[in-house]
Amino acid sequence: MRVIGFMTYKIDISSWGRFFTVPCAVADKYIKLADGDYVKVLLCILAGSSSTVDSKALSDASGVNEAKVCDAVLYWSQNGVISVNGQAQPAPAEAVPAAAPVRTEAPADAAPAPKTVASVRLSPRDLADRIESSPELKYLVSEFEKIKGSDIKHHEIMGLINLTEYYGFDAESLLLIITYCHELGKTSISYIERVGKDWAERGINEYSEVEAEIVKQSRQRSFEHKVCRAFGIETKLSPKQSEYIRSWQELGMSVELLTIAYDKCMDAINKLDFRYIDKIVRGWADRRLTTPDQIAAEDKARYESYQKKHGSDKSETSYDIDRWEEFAMNYDPNYRGVKPE
């Protein structure tokens, strides 16, 4: 009997029925790095009663699609666990989970060549050798496992190799990205790779550049969250709405000013309209209004100008009152009832 944490288990051999043999090398060398579907296929092969096997039958038995069955057979044969006579052709789309563009130099007078995809294939043995021969990769794998809180798989290590070898991130820069993604709750290697590739394509791969981009995006998310609270938004923003908020931040508008703009929008049209708020905000930016006091002073001056021109008798028609409210809220009377372009 063995103890795992606070749980115990025992092996009940009497309930097993038929046995089959699994090479110890599978558990000792490969199971930590192997794809889970590959292990399923191997177990079905080892449990079979025949030395010949059909990929369709293996697919039915393992629940793995037939193309990946062929990949698994090729994988285990390349690592010496099984031997294969005949042909097993993997499907290119699923052969390797990690891929990266190859960098090439284009002639100065030619248009830039489109990026191509290079599939990197490393067996667990080769991958283990690569980790042992590269202190930086070994350190990166170790730290990634600490951040993730569990062992990482073959395809995750390949993702790290792609980001370092093809996109130029050193271990410290890549660990910054990994930590940043995990703080966002994005723990998959595919998300980390997307972030890394996007930043690298924008020329962001040095440590100081990665750090600055993280600070920038963190501030943007914090600002966006505060604006959502001010606007009473509880659902996820659309890409266009996020774009509006980023542009207001770039204009130097504070959350306090945007709250005033929101109130003016609600008073004028009784609904949240990002385009309407954007019109107000950009008007303030054009007139260099950057504080609530400046906006209040402008509103007061407009009110006094309106009173002087139209009189202060409030017993006039409701139409005149409505026109004043529209005027005070930076509202164009021709806009009411017409959607902005």
**Predicted confidence (pLDDT) per residue in 277-309, tens digit:** 999 999 999 999 999 999 999 999 988 888 888
For residue 70, give the CATH number of its domain.
1.10.10
List of residues 6+ apart from 32 with CB closer than 8 A:
151, 153
Number of domains in the chain: 3
Residue 304 in contact with residue 324, Cβ under 8 Å?
Answer: no
Q: Quickly tell me which residue has 């891929």 as its tokens.
A: 99
Q: Calculate mean pLDDT across residues 310-327.
A: 48
Let me know if residue 187 belongs to a domain.
yes
What is the residue-averaged pLDDT of the chain? 76
Same domain, 185 and 266: no
Beta strands in the chain, from DSSP E residues, in sequence order: 2-4, 7-9, 99-102, 116-119
**Predicted confidence (pLDDT) per residue in 109-147, tens digit:** 444 433 433 445 567 777 788 888 888 989 999 999 999
Same domain, 123 and 195: yes
Let me know if residue 23 belongs to a domain.
yes
Q: How many whole angstroms from its chain centre is CA 341?
A: 32
List of residues 6+ apart from 143 with CB closer than 8 A:
171, 175, 178
b/e sequence 138-156, b meaning 16+ C-beta within 10 Å = eebbebbeeeeeeebbbeb
Query: CA torsion angle for 26, 89, 62, 28 (degrees, to 10)?
Result: 10
Let me know if residue 219 belongs to a domain.
no
Let me know if residue 222 belongs to a domain.
no
Range of 133's domain?
116-205
3-state secondary structure of 101: strand
Entry pTM: 0.50
- The answer, yes or no, to whether residue 323 has pLDDT greater than 60, is no
**Predicted confidence (pLDDT) per residue in 164-216, tens digit:** 888 889 999 999 999 999 988 888 899 999 999 999 999 998 999 999 999 99
